[in-house]
Structure 1
Amino acid sequence: MTNKIVRQRVIVISLILLIIITAVISLGLGYSSVSFQRIIPTIFGSGTVKEEMVLFDFRLPRILVTILAGMALALSGAILQSITRNDLADPGIIGINAGAGIGVSIFFLYFPIEAGSFVYVLPIVAFFSAILIAFLIYIFSYTKGMGVQPIKLVLVGVGFSMACSGGMVVLISSAEDEKVTFISKWLAGSVWGTDWPFIIALLPWLIILVPFILYKAGKLDLLAFSEPVAVGVGVQVEKERVVLLIAAVALAAASVSVTGGIAFVGLMAPHIAKSLVGPRNHLFIPIAILIGGLLLLVADTIGRNLLESEEVAAGIITALIGAPYFIYLLLRKK
């Protein structure tokens, strides 16, 4: 175990350095480029007005939002994979993201609210919408005497995801062009929450829930085993599963409310982390969180700079990487 802890710390430090390097590269790339030699001086207050505006008003808040959202999605995926005992679970795949999305769409279209409070209300709206969909998925996946069936949960989740996506299309069919454009970009996973208030709206969810989930890491380890084993060692399975499901939904909903419908980050990050340090939650969760932040940051940086005329949504980049990985995992389970 000691060797694994040392390995975990080395990987964590390496990932933090990778995130910092990628963030610096991302700061220098874009339509209004800032030379890499000017990034550090500008950060420390020696830049021109244009350089400071590009870095502090546009690039830096977007980078921080992307990292935090990726971390939240990765942690949500790690929780879902443990409580469902299903390696294919992901908030995007099993319908939680789409559940949050339909709530955001309804709120955005039909509930006018002041711009100043819109940012802070949005994650709460997304949470309650997602928790309703998650509850329905849980009910339809539950079999009396057997509990939640992992494969059934994925299939039901995919069904709800498609239904919610279809509902969003119906909602925007008669909406104003400006609102249709926003929701269409949201569906594609375009990072739209790129101002400092979005960081303030997203950060508390992570500050509260990351320590809570690390505290519950032992319970997650037991829930990953069969239900009789967990019950045998005194775990209140259904109670713990519901509490952890709510935490997973809260993380996914907060992330999705500012980044749109991004899938596969919550699928890939925990798997990569487990391959590095093994399946113990207290070891792989910190690594998965950092990998999630790095994955979404890389995807958004590529999407912003892939085409000259228009940016490609980060959700499309993660789908291009994640869909083949999902198929690989699906085939491996057979």
Structure 2
Amino acid sequence: MIHPTIVKKQRLILLALVILLFSTILLSMGIGYSSLTYDRLLPTLLGQGAFKEEFVLFSIRMPRIFITLLGGMALALSGAILQSITRNDLADPGIIGINSGAGVAIATFYLFFPLDPGSFVYVIPLVAFCGALLSASFIYLFSYQKKRGLQPIRLVLVGVGFSMALSGAMVILISSAEREKVDFISKWLAGNIWGTDWPFIWALLPWLIVLIPFSLYKANRLNLLGLSEPVATGVGVAIQKERLLLLIAAVALAASAVSVTGGISFIGLMAPHIAKAIVGPRNQLSLPVAILIGGWLLLVADTIGRTIVDPEGIAAGIMVALIGAPYFMYLLLKK
């Protein structure tokens, strides 16, 4: 039973985050290389703008804003799940090899398979999921011990090793590829938001519609998995089954996000920590807050990155890493 005062506090925080998100979205709509001033923003939203203004807003900025928002939400939720099932505050899909597995699958598909422009958008999240799931399966197998089960610390360490190995495989893959394709993969690795059209949103949205409610439904199971294994077993939790299901959900969330946002790390590390610092460690309270914080963090990073250097900007993944890497070092030293 959660105290009503804490629930009320969480709802106020969620309301404040929603307001902050909408404010940031409006701010991001009016910022960019192409001219669209704030006094023309409302008329353009209402369909009374010039052709150029409507094209900039509806075909360029809004798809990118929603992609970064949804991608950040998925990465934050994935990180929160991984931190609970591994009982390790340093777990993040970008750090323990899940993103790298998705990246190698995307690079292989992009380099060696014929691309149909009509279906490519919808196939790429599935390709990323298959690569990330294969990577996670190997990490899980190497981390599992017959007598002791899955060791959370071992899982993180093995994941870091796989991440490094897969990064090497990525270099080998692109070393003999065509220049145009290498440019795309290099931008993906840097976390450059490349899926900036409406079809990418429709490709990403179904994954979130299914996996966010599922993860919230499993919030209490995540609480129990965060305890010691004897305690979780004592209250009737099938530890290995629940951990495996939630690991697959975390992999799917991360893979679907990075398939259109590029290789972005640290969102899944920072957002859950900030959420728990605000509302406490119970996942029923912290998961919704982490989801909104993750979307806001990536949106802010992308908005700043595409504004400070015209016209190409700085990749959102680099902007996030500038904040996330020092935060990771802080947590590493603290823990």
| TM-score interval, normalised by the smaller of the two chains | over 0.9
Q: For residue 308 of structure 1, report the CA deviation from its aligned partner.
A: 2.4
* Equivalent in 2, 24, 27 of residue 26 of structure 2: 24
TM-score for both structures, normalised by structure 1:
0.98
* Equivalent in 197, 200, 203 of residue 202 of structure 2: 200
Alignment of 1:99 onto 2:97:
no
Q: For residue 143 of structure 1, report the CA deviation from its aligned partner.
A: 2.4
**Tell me, which stretches of 5 or more residues in structure 2 are unaligned?**
none
In the alignment of these two chains, the number of paired residues is: 333
Distance (whole Å) between structure 1 residues aligned to residue 242 and residue 323 of structure 2: 32
Alignment of 1:237 onto 2:243:
no
SS at match of 2:114: coil
1:60-99 alignment, distance < 5 Å = 60-99=62-101
Distance (whole Å) between structure 2 residues aligned to residue 292 and residue 155 of structure 1: 24
Alignment of 1:3 onto 2:5:
yes
2:212 — aligned with what? 210
Distance (whole Å) between structure 2 residues aligned to residue 247 and residue 99 of structure 1: 15
SS at match of 1:204: helix
- The letter of the residue matching 2:125 is P
2:319 — aligned with what? 317
1:263 — aligned with what? 265
**Tell me, which stretches of 5 or more residues in structure 1 are unaligned?**
none
Distance (whole Å) between structure 2 residues aligned to residue 41 and residue 280 of structure 1: 44
Alignment of 1:171 onto 2:173:
yes
- What per-residue deviation string (whole Å, max 9, x for no partner) do you get for residues 207-250 of structure 1? 10111111111111000001111110000000000000000000
Q: For residue 145 of structure 1, report the CA deviation from its aligned partner.
A: 2.3
Identity of aligned residues (%): 67
1:279 — aligned with what? 281
TM-score for both structures, normalised by structure 2:
0.98
- What per-residue deviation string (whole Å, max 9, x for no partner) do you get for residues 2-60 of structure 1? 11111111111111111111111111111102101111111111111000000000000
Could you say what the CA RMSD is over the residues aligned between the two structures, in angstroms? 0.8
Do 2:96 and 2:157's aligned partners in 1 also have CA atoms closer than 8 Å? yes
- The letter of the residue matching 1:285 is L
Distance (whole Å) between structure 2 residues aligned to residue 56 and residue 310 of structure 1: 19
Distance (whole Å) between structure 2 residues aligned to residue 229 and residue 76 of structure 1: 24
Do 2:193 and 2:261's aligned partners in 1 also have CA atoms closer than 8 Å? yes
1:141-156 alignment, distance < 5 Å = 141-156=143-158
- What per-residue deviation string (whole Å, max 9, x for no partner) do you get for residues 57-102 of structure 1? 0000000000000000000000000001111000000000000000
Distance (whole Å) between structure 2 residues aligned to residue 11 and residue 277 of structure 1: 8
2:292 — aligned with what? 290
Moved more, 160-169 or 80-89: 160-169
- The letter of the residue matching 2:59 is D
- The letter of the residue matching 1:148 is L
